[in-house]
Each structure stands twice: as C-alpha cells, then as structure tokens.
Amino acid sequence: MRGEEAGRTKSDETRERILVAAVQRFSNFGYRRTSINDVAEEAGLARATVYLYWKSKEDLFVAGLERFHTYSRSLAESAAAKKGSAAERIHGMVMAQYGASSDIVHGTASGHEVFQANLKLGSAFVEECLRHGEELLTGLLKRGIRNGEFDLRRSSASAADVAHIIVSFAQNSLLDRHHTPASYRESLRKTLNFILDSIRA
C-alpha cells in the first residue's frame, strides 16, 4: 500500500480529488444542476485546474462513472473470493455490489437522475459491469453445483441463465423510486433466497 502511495504523483492526487468531488456533487445535485464550477468549488480548486484534466462536464461525469464501476467491481470480486458456501458468497457479492449502487440511487437527493444519466452516458461501463457480474455469479453457481450445493437438473436453466436472472433483477430494481437503500437490500435478499432455494440440491 505504501508503495502505491509513494508512486502517486501530485497530478494523480489532484485527479482523484476532482473525481471524489464530482461523484459527491453529481450524487447530491444531479447531472443537470452540476457544473464544472460546482465540482471545482467542491474540490477546493480553480475551474481551470479541472479543465486541465477534462474538457467537458460529460467527460468528467463519465470519468466518475468509470471510477465508481471500478470500485463496484472490486467489491464484487472481494466478496466472491471470501470463504464460505457458494450461496453465502453469492449473497455477499450481490449485496456488496448492488448495495453500493443503491446507496447512491436510493440514498442521495439526485440519485435517480444520476442513474438515468449513467445508463445514457455510461452505457459501455454498465454493460461491462453487468457482464462481469454475471461471469462471477456463473462461476460461483458452477462451484456450488460441483460441491453438491446446487442442482439444476430439475430445471431447464443453466448456471449462466440463473446468473442473468439475478443480475437483471438487481439492476432493474434500482429503477424503483420507492426503494430506500434498506428496502432495496431487503428485497434483493429475499429474491436471492427464493432463487437459490429453488435450485438447492
């Protein structure tokens, strides 16, 4: 860790400072009501400094999305790699990754607007994140089948199909404006239990 910190330049630190400020500002005020000036003020920097790194608000927003999706992926990978049964690791992975998204979408003032802008401007990141999540889940489900925890022989679905169902539910439920972070997690937990109970050996 110290080696990584020592290798960071002042430019890297400034870029990270801007990104943190951008994520904070976009989450609280939305894409439309956030300007480069606002982000610069949040970061405690001059507007010209922000423009040295990004040419437009859209470029900055997309960079913030990339940062968040990288963070989200790392949460999923860490949870999937922990010890425990396949079901426990699936729960941990899905709740960690999508819980973090819900904290912004359902837990901030302009989370839903940010989510819609995310789908529009960051579609490539969204697609990659969904694909990555399905691959991790498929691997965990297959591990559960090999270990005798799950049995898909009663179903016409494959491990990849089940993974797709889980990811689709988690992603689409983010669109529900009635959710809070707590209610989203509870709904996700119950749905995961239902799906995994239906394929237990």
> Is the pLDDT reported for residue 6 higher than 70?
no
Q: Rounded CA gap, 31 and 25, in Å?
A: 9
pLDDT at residue 38, as a whole number: 96
pTM of the model: 0.88
Q: What does the pLDDT look like over 68-92, one tens digit per residue?
A: 889 999 999 999 999 999 999 999 9
Give the CA angle between residues 85, 102, 166 to the nearest 5°: 45
Q: Band of the pLDDT at 1, cuts 50, 70, 90? A: very low
Q: At 152, which amino acid appears?
A: L
Contact yes or no for 16/71 (Cβ under 8 A): no
Query: What length does the chain have?
Result: 201
Higher confidence at residue 112 or residue 186? Answer: 186
- What's the pLDDT score for residue 163? 98
